[in-house]
Amino acid sequence: MRLTVLSDYSLRVLMYLAARPDRLATIQEIARAYAISENHLMKVVHGLAKGGYIETVRGRGGGMRLAGPADGITVGAVLRTVEEDFAIVECLGNQDTCRITKACRLKRVLQLALAAFMAELDQWTLADLVSRPKALLDALDIEAR
């Protein structure tokens, strides 16, 4: 199973914001910190704001911040919001045309595995991911101030 770049970038944005909770951040500064496209981040930020994870402040001196405490945001919840499809094989999706679905036990095994995967991710909060904010900011070559 592979998560999309959208999930990766969404978690990175949230981690960045959680590591610096006392200030607003801009798309430009986050893009620069991670060396990723501002255009991609615009879509990410829009989705995170729509999902209620971040709030944006317009105008001069504007930016974004977490909409709530980092310990109230789970990795599993974020992925469910930003990922469009967890059908890791055809039979788990809406367009199941597999000829052996009725007799195959693989579907159930994969459903259980996916449920276990998501259950594990539901145990981890954004606060857990940034429990050492200085180390994260140092890795990004950013002062913690």
pLDDT-derived band at 144, boundaries 50, 70, 90 = low
pLDDT of residue 84: 83
Sequential DSSP letters for 5-64: HHHHHHHHHHHHHHHSTTS-B-HHHHHHHHT--HHHHHHHHHHHHHTTSEEEE-STT-EE
CATH class in words for 5-85+125-139? mainly alpha
Q: Which amino acid is at 63?
A: G
Alpha-carbon distance 96 to 12, whole Å? 33
Q: In the chain, where are the structural domains located?
A: 5-85+125-139
Q: Are 37 and 31 in contact (CB under 8 A)?
A: yes
**What pLDDT sits at residue 100?**
83
pLDDT score of 72: 97
What mean pLDDT value characterizes the chain? 91
The structure tokens listed for 135 are 């180390």
pLDDT confidence of residue 16: 97
